[in-house]
Amino acid sequence: MNQKEFFSENGFALIDNIYSEEEINSILHEIENADSQNDTFRKSSDLFAIRQILKEIPEISPIIFNENLKNLIREFIGNDFFIVKSIYFDKPETSNWYVAYHQDLTISVDKKVELENFNFWTKKQNQFAVQPPIEILKNIVTIRIHLDETNEENGALKVIPKSHSKKIYRTKTTDWSAEKEVSCNVLRGGIMFMKPLLLHSSSRTTNNQKRRVIHIELSNFDLPNEINWSEKQIIN
């Protein structure tokens, strides 16, 4: 089974050596020198996050979408996908931030409109989110770019393989004894492809090591005319 087939069947794939040390350092340099006063920046003792990072720090886009990544996107999902969401997460060395098993069930849009099968509207930092029909969620592919080595000790994602194929999961009624858990350990400069409907969680940090990740979502799905993807960008 090749990586593309593994991704389709299991809902995730891990690929190392996508970025050089120089590229990682360049990305981190741009992040560290960005203006953190904007509403899209959030900082606490447990988490530093930047929403819409590709809009806030456009200088990192050509580094992120290097030939290695663009070739993988073409191989795994095709030529017509575009960016619909981007977030930077920095889980500090002393973080006690734990995230229970969940699916990513919302998309970011430009406004709130009453539409059939678009539910559970929220608004955070001037950005609307909504749970769309499942066909849209199935179409999305997430890329997690690892700016640090990530393992079980500093909050690597844990996933339930193949859970993306079971539609909306109800974790409270899940028979966890029948599920297989996998820790997604990724080297610095590697990436993870993931389907948002894949059940995933993140543990607390125990080894005093950072876990910095850029989370990017791609889609080629056209939304209803009444709304737009709030972060839609073409991959150059």
User: pLDDT band for position 178 (50/70/90)?
Assistant: confident
Q: Give yes or no for a contact between 207 and 154, defined as CB atoms under 8 angstroms apart.
A: yes
pLDDT for position 126: 78
Q: What is the mean pLDDT of residues 197-201?
A: 95
Structural domains in the chain plus CATH codes: 3-219 (2.60.120.620)
* Residue pLDDT, tens place only, 12-55: 999 999 999 999 999 999 998 886 666 665 555 445 788 999 99
> Global pTM?
0.92
Residue in the structure block whose two tokens are 């009444």: 226
Q: In degrees, to the nearest 5, what angle opens at C-alpha 142 toward C-alphas 124 and 209? A: 80
* Residue pLDDT, tens place only, 43-95: 554 457 889 999 999 999 999 999 999 999 999 999 999 999 999 988 766 65
* Residue pLDDT, tens place only, 131-162: 999 999 999 999 999 999 999 888 899 999 99
Q: What is the mean pLDDT of residues 163-185?
A: 81
Percent with pLDDT over 70 in the chain: 89
Q: How many CB atoms lie within 10 A of CB 104?
A: 17
Residue of 96 and 46 predicted with greater confidence: 96
Q: What is the mean pLDDT of residues 95-109?
A: 86
Q: Give yes or no for a contact between 201 and 99, defined as CB atoms under 8 angstroms apart.
A: yes
Burial class (CB in 10 A: 0-12, 13-18, 19+), 226: exposed
231 φ, ψ to 5°? -125, 25
Q: What is the mean pLDDT of residues 94-116?
A: 88
Beta 191-194 vs 12-15: how paired, if at all? antiparallel
pLDDT for position 220: 97
Quick check: helix, strand or coil at residue 226? coil
